[in-house]
Amino acid sequence: MATIFTRIINGEIPALKVYEDADTLAFLDIAPASPGHTLVICKNEVATLMELSDAQLLATARTTQRVAAALQKALQPDGINIMQNNGSAAGQTVFHYHVHLIPRWNDDGVIQFWQHKSMSQADFAEMVAKISQAL
Q: Which residues are catalytic?
A: 98
Left if phi > 0, otherwise alpha if psi is -120 to 50, otherwise beta: which for 36?
Answer: left
Strands 24-28 and 38-42: antiparallel
Give bridge partners of residue 102 from the DSSP assignment: 81
42 vs 97: CA distance, rounded Å: 6
How far is 14 from 71, CA to CA, in rounded Å? 21
Distance of alpha carbon 130 from its chain centroid, rounded?
26
